[in-house]
Amino acid sequence: MAEMVSNKQVILKDFVSGFPKETDMYVTTSSIELKVPQGSNGVLLKNLYLSCDPYMRPRMTKGEGSYIESFKPGLPIVGNGVAKVLDSENPEFKKGDLVWGMTGWEEYSLVTAPRLFKIQHTDVPLSYYTGILGMPGMTAYAGFFEVCSPKQGEYVFGSAASGAVGQLVGQFAKSVGCYVVGSAGSKDKVDLLKNKFGFDEAFNYKEEPDLDAALKRYFPEGINIYFENVGGKMLDAVLLNMRIQGRIALCGMISQYNNDKPEGVHNLTCLISKRIRMEGFLVPDYFHLYPKFLEMMIPRIKEGKIVYVEDKAEGLESAPAALVGLFSGRNVGKQVVEVATE
């Protein structure tokens, strides 16, 4: 009989409507055996870092038509994380491996059908694998380079630009010689975009009563590429300001996730008159590019050519507030929760 230990967990209380609240989750303590059942193909993980991502909001709603399963009330939240393998019955992983991928919001997780990547490069902070080197990083990479087909000198706009994905999209765009403007929801974030991430310009959308006018100010010649993270009114304003044969990569629509019925978007005829391609994408379709992505990213991160800002919450108890904070824009940079150090 293996060791039983206590296991702190963040549980979803019930399905959520409207803005999620901290009280939609609770922290409890159960116990877990630090051993994988023989022949189960599973792994036993010690969770180190947990990722708070906007796509998790739709999972808190009773699932209809979503591309991923809903969370299950009464069970731990599920999300991306960085973890250490404590035990394995899976031939791909062994005790001591560091991994990132889907895990539970708890101290220890038994994962029976692992969707995990092994972490090879440990000379960068491990928490980076919840962000710049993990799912959000790959999202920025696939969305910008594969979906947007950028060309040197093009005008690029990104919304939610200081977030985990947006900050990287802006840096990628600069790296291929584009002009980049980002929008975010506070002065601090705008400063970050301009002074840390090297955006050419940035603005606080909350201080712009007329988004169309704001975009016309920053893009007098229009937008070639829009990297969409928010949806709703911003998308409508962007449509009016796109250039002919522009591209819109639909990564997310965080402004809509808490609405019972999403806002209507009115200016879609612009897609015709300007021959625009608007394309939704999901990062798992691009995971075959992950090795190529890492090869590009690791040296650039080490040389300081790509920078990264994360907002780290300490301890599993802080996880519900950290997740909820995403939807009011409380976080500055990528929101991660540190559960334990290695």
Q: Which residues lie closer than 8 Å to 217 by C-beta, 6 or more apart?
A: none
- Residue whose CB is less far from a copy of itself, 207 or 285: 285
CA-closest candidate to residue 290, choices 87, 142, 96, 71: 142
Q: d(Cα 178, Cα 161) in Å, to the nearest integer?
A: 15
Q: How far is the CB of 282 from a copy of itself (least distance, A)?
A: 6
- Residue whose CB is less far from a copy of itself, 285 or 342: 285
Q: How far is the CB of 269 from a copy of itself (least distance, A)?
A: 5
Q: How far is the CB of 254 from a copy of itself (least distance, A)?
A: 11
Q: Which residues lie closer than 8 Å to 39 by C-beta, 6 or more apart?
A: 89
DSSP state for residue 90 in the 8-state scheme: S
173 torsion bin: left (phi>0), alpha (psi -120 to 50), beta (else): alpha
Three-point CA angle 286, 290, 296, nearest 5°: 125
Q: How far is the CB of 65 from a copy of itself (least distance, A)?
A: 7
Token pair 């959520």 in the structure block, residue:
16
Q: How far is the CB of 135 from a copy of itself (least distance, A)?
A: 15
CA-closest candidate to residue 38, choices 87, 106, 101, 97: 87
Q: Are 93 and 110 in contact (CB under 8 A)?
A: no
DSSP state for residue 144 in the 8-state scheme: I
| DSSP annotation string for 17-42 | -SS--GGGEEEEEEEEESSPPTTS--
- Residue whose CB is less far from a copy of itself, 9 or 229: 229
- Residue whose CB is less far from a copy of itself, 191 or 263: 263
Q: d(Cα 269, Cα 276) in Å, to the nearest integer?
A: 10
- Residue whose CB is less far from a copy of itself, 152 or 269: 269
Q: How far is the CB of 241 from a copy of itself (least distance, A)?
A: 10
Which positions touch a copy of itself (CB under 8 A)? 65-67, 231, 235, 240, 250-253, 256, 261-282, 285
Q: How far is the CB of 10 from a copy of itself (least distance, A)?
A: 25
- Residue whose CB is less far from a copy of itself, 129 or 226: 226
Q: How far is the CB of 53 from a copy of itself (least distance, A)?
A: 14
- Residue whose CB is less far from a copy of itself, 161 or 239: 239
Token pair 């999300």 in the structure block, residue:
79
- Residue whose CB is less far from a copy of itself, 261 or 288: 261
